[in-house]
Amino acid sequence: MRLAEIEMIMLNVGLAGFAAFIFFIIYDLAKKSKAGKFGTFILFFALGMGLAVFLLKNLIVYLLDI
């Protein structure tokens, strides 16, 4: 296995860990602020949208390189 392949695997693992941590932060924020179901949905939608666009950008760049 070449170094570039290991780096790509570790980047994907790191991004998955980062995404999980961001969703944990959003959940904790909703719980501490007592946002309720609708408020929690809005928090996940609004703050999760930024993460989704970041990950989508990486996917598009990867697909264009192929």
- pLDDT tens digits for 3-62? 988 998 998 899 889 889 988 999 999 999 998 999 999 999 998 888 788 878 888 998
Ramachandran quadrant class, 2 (left: phi over 0; alpha: psi -120 to 50; beta: rest): beta
Q: Contact 57/66 with Cβ under 8 angstroms?
A: no
Cβ atoms of 30 and 40 within 8 Å: the answer is yes
Q: Which domain holds residue 35?
A: 3-65
State the pLDDT at residue 8: 87
pLDDT at 32: 94
| The total number of structural domains that make up the chain | 1
Say which DSSP state 35 is in: -
Of 38, 39, 16, give the one whose Cα is nearest residue 29: 39
Tell me, yes or no, if the pTM score tops 0.85: no
How open is the CA angle 11-40-19, to the nearest 5 degrees?
A: 5
